[in-house]
A and B are shown apart, each in its own frame.
Chain A
Amino acid sequence: MVQLSSTLLYVAFVLYLVATLFFGGAIRVKKKEGVDRWATIGIFVTIIGFVAQLGYFITRWIAAGHAPVSNLFEFTTFFGMMIVGAFIVIYFIYKTSLLGLFTLPIAILVIAYASMFPREISPLIPALQSDWLHIHVTTAAAGEAILAISFAAGLIYLIRVVDQSKPSKRTFWLEFVLFFLISTLGFVIVTTSFRVAGYEATFEWIDKNGKQDEMVYHMPALVGPHEGVLKTEERMKPLVDMPAIINARKLNTVIWSLFSGLALYGLLRLLLRKRIAAALQPIVKNVNLDLVDEIGYRSVAIGFPVFTLGALIFAMIWAQIAWTRFWGWDPKEVWALITWLFYAAFLHLRLSKGWHGERSAWLAVIGFAIIMFNLVAVNLVIAGLHSYAGS
């Protein structure tokens, strides 16, 4: 069952890649030419992929005896699946193949990112032994995934409208967003490479309480732990040691990701000889801006209630049962509130202040950045009650 489950996830991953290619092929087809074969095949492959991933989810649930949303790998994978699910729904409303070309790679990145974390099926600690685990986590993930669609739509919008003829703040920030997506890819590539190579370096170090401890790196140490002493032979010595309150291994991973992202980005710039967004612009030139704007807004309109229900209301109910209080200002809770406040502001700006089009698109991008911050940084960097999700 466990084997079948992993295989299905792998199949889904590959199918999403294939579907992306088909959606890519669909760009050249003009709308007027009738049925768009490429897009039809694309969405068909996407659905099969989604079904395969659903199979992964169900088989893993059976194998574990609890919903596979209990650690960072499982949650993030599920989030990726929900992005695909949300895309399929939106696709059937709006029939925009271009959305597939942007959404699927995001989902693929999310799932690839998830696979960099421990993947074993783990039993549940007492705090997680509740039906609210799957009720709360799945609803919250679904809400975030629907909101992520607005990011994809926003990105399309921005690539289309931002003037690439001269550098500006807008071109800079758009490149910045794309650079982050590329860095995620960099993280996946670097982690996978060193994993395949079996890199391991052990350090002895002094933690913030002055105790000696061991830390194992799976990447060459650019930054070492506090007063770290390298114990493994023939491994790279760190360039600099970090103070005790900083988790040097995580920082090292971040640095590697950013460097590899920078390298990839630089390589792309060199090959394309223009900004990435400028290179992508022809792809989106035929898109109906009003429609993309509406897709972005509708995903927020649909996703916001789901997010509220899952990430705040269900979360509060469960917190009242498991942690004795419905709200405790745990960092994860606060960031869910921040996300909620942000999208509330988004909706008010749009409905009452008339922030449509490009402004709305920028907001959608920032919203997704907040969601990703909550998913990645709050779990890995800011320790709190939710930090089991980071193990």
Chain B
Amino acid sequence: MEQVKCECGHVNPIGTVLCEACGKPLEEVPALLDMRYEGSARRSQTYNKTIIDKIWNFFSSVKVGVWLIVITLVASAIGTIYPQQMYIPPTVSPSEYYEQQYGLLGKWYYALGFHDLYSSWWYMLLIALIGVSLVICSLDRVVPLYRALNNQRVTRNEQFLQRQRLFSRAKVEHDETAFRNVVDKLTKRGYRVREENGNILAEKGRFSRWGPYVNHIGLIIFLIGAMLRFVPGMYVDESMWIREGEIKEIPGTNGKYFLENKKFIFEVYEKEKEKEAFQAAIDRLGSGMMAKNYQTDVVLYERVGPVVAGEEPKLKKIKSFPIRVNEPLKHDHYALYQVDFKLDELKSMSFHFTDKETNKSFGTITVDLIQPEKEYDLGNGYKVQLLSYFPDFYFDENGNPNTRSKVPNNPAFVFKMFAPDRPKGEVSFTAIRQTIEPLGNNKYKMAFANIETRNVSALTVRRDFTLWILGVGGAIFMIGLIQGMYWNHRRIWIQRMDDEVLVAAHTNKNWFGLKKELEGIFNDTPFVMPIDQADKRS
């Protein structure tokens, strides 16, 4: 490697602006030194030969990093103009939705892919490039900075001192007591004082210089965590609808866990039941209009023995738990969250076997709407066969009865009714508020008697093995940020040159604080308080 030798004898890497050891400017520099990276050689700028070097140098520039941040910022903002695809109603097609709702702009928004911006490849690439920039910028700066701070000598080049922002020069008689007094004061204020031939370098808070690099490491760990989410097995995100009384396998657990919904509770704020302070607010929104609690009382079971899907499971109870918003059920890295519900889903319907003329009932059948029986025997020769069952009934385009789903939203039945005087049976199509007798007039009918309902709860199942990585990344980021922002790196040089004493001071931030501190140190001493040379300019 090419090197530059300073007159003090120290050998610096090429590209160094200020000698690592004595601080002498090795290149043309402004009147006040730019101390940002201690005048060290940023390695990337020195070599620019191969394509690899060129890529490296591109990402090594803070300017590029800032541009990446700004582009991401603007893109993110555009993504909030209209709702993202995940927040529009799931039943509508996005291609139509955006145009219908927002007109031509909406159409373009969709066409350009802004409706799903944050999971688009280019947005992810932007974030990734910021990550690359973080890595390369940090590597390129932290090594030279470390060298420079590690190699710095106590005795500095005169040029270096007088070009510091805080500087003074005065004729001072040598006075050992006064000198010791200053050293004492510095030590008391937490400075690490190094002496060399009667010259002083007092330094504190150097660790704050590492803050930016620590927080960048934290960010990189966070980004790695975010990337790992896409590795199979790291992340489970499922949802389940479960009815009251039902026991169901928890999806995403590979058949290992089952859940029973004991009860779903929905509460609202009612005027009479709430305290005085809330009355005005409840009045404004209306009593009973504001949700108070969504809760599913569940029992968690674990399957015992080998898992064969579909087989009736042997279950071991693990725990009972009320799942509420903000209080998920957690077990074995899984978390179950309350996310949605449906009140009063139909559970069963009852019908009277009735003579249409006399209205006399010959018994009542109750049809379970999830698993209806094929036949209901009422005794004395009366029985009902269920020929067809449509849980979510509608007439399809051919005019035939059909079902939209397996959910009993609108149940319809084809009954065949047998009676002693109707041994061949009568067929009746029975739906809510609708009866059709397809084979002529019947004597009997299935008269609607009663319904039973129950609530259904929707839960989200999550397991995220990346959370701890994100947590570690976040924590390191915060530590680095605080380290860099809440402390500062201060240095004070006192150097005797012939009969003069040169005093200079530098801090990476908070000059005001440093000046106050210097006042405290140099008051009542023969040394002259350094003057802010930046003031002279403005």
Contact = CB atoms under 8 A, between A and B. Distances in A.
Interface of A: 1-2, 63-65, 93-94, 118, 120-123, 125-127, 129-130, 132, 208, 245, 289-291, 294, 297-298, 301-302, 304-305, 308-309, 313, 316, 320-322, 324-326, 328-331, 334-335, 337-338, 341-342, 344-345, 348-349, 351-354, 378, 382-384
Given A320-B467, A324-B462, A334-B118, 10 more contacts: A2-B277, A121-B280, A132-B326, A290-B511, A294-B510, A298-B509, A304-B481, A305-B481, A308-B478, A352-B36
Given A305-B478, A320-B467, A335 B269 contact: no
A342 B73 contact: yes
B512 A326 contact: no
Given A123-B292, A305-B485, A322-B326, A313 B280 contact: no
Contacts of A94: 512
A290 B538 contact: yes
B233 to A, nearest CB: 18
A290 B535 contact: yes
Nearest to A127: B325
A345 B478 contact: no
A125 B281 contact: no
A289 B538 contact: yes
A297 B509 contact: yes
A96 B83 CA distance: 45
A29 B101 CA distance: 60
B158 interface: no
Give 4 closest A-B pairs by Cβ, nearest first: A122-B281, A126-B325, A120-B280, A120-B281
B282 A294 contact: no
Q: Which of A65, A321, A378 has the most CB of B within 10 A?
A: A321
Contacts of A127: 325-326
A351 B66 CA distance: 12
Interface string B340-358: 0000000000000000000
Interface in B28-56: 34, 36
A244 B538 CA distance: 56
Contacts of B63: 353
B291 A345 contact: no
B224 interface: no
A342 to B, nearest CB: 6
B73 A294 contact: no
Contacts of B511: 290, 294
A76 to B, nearest CB: 17
Nearest to B535: A290
Given A1-B277, A127-B325, A120 B337 contact: no
B281 A309 contact: no
B510 A298 contact: yes
Nearest to B479: A305
A122 B277 CA distance: 8
Nearest to B478: A309
B94 interface: no
Interface in B271-288: 274-278, 280-282, 284-285
Nearest to B278: A123
Given A2-B277, A353-B62, A291 B512 contact: yes
B: interface residue count bin? 35 or more
Nearest to B275: A65
Contact of B69 (A132, A245, A335, A345): A345
A27 B237 CA distance: 61
B510 to A, nearest CB: 6
Contacts of A338: 73, 76-77
Interface in B314-335: 324-326, 328, 335
B286 to A, nearest CB: 13
Given A297-B509, A384-B87, A302 B80 contact: no
Contacts of A334: 76-77, 79-80, 118
Contacts of B467: 320, 326
Contact of A345 (B66, B79, B477): B66
Q: Which of B66, B280, B326, B481 has the most CB of A within 10 A?
A: B326
B534 interface: yes
Q: Which of A2, A94, A132, A338 has the most CB of B within 10 A?
A: A338
A348 B79 contact: no
Nearest to A383: B83
B531 interface: no
A381 B470 CA distance: 32
B72 interface: yes
Nearest to A290: B534
A175 B297 CA distance: 59
B253 interface: no
Nearest to B82: A382
Contacts of B532: 290
B482 interface: yes
Interface string B434-476: 0000000000000000000000000010100001001000100
A301 B509 contact: yes
B349 to A, nearest CB: 32
A331 B66 CA distance: 23
Contact of A329 (B118, B291, B482): B118
Contacts of B293: 126
Nearest to B511: A294
B11 interface: no
Nearest to B336: A324
B497 interface: no
Nearest to A300: B485
Contacts of B290: 122-123, 125
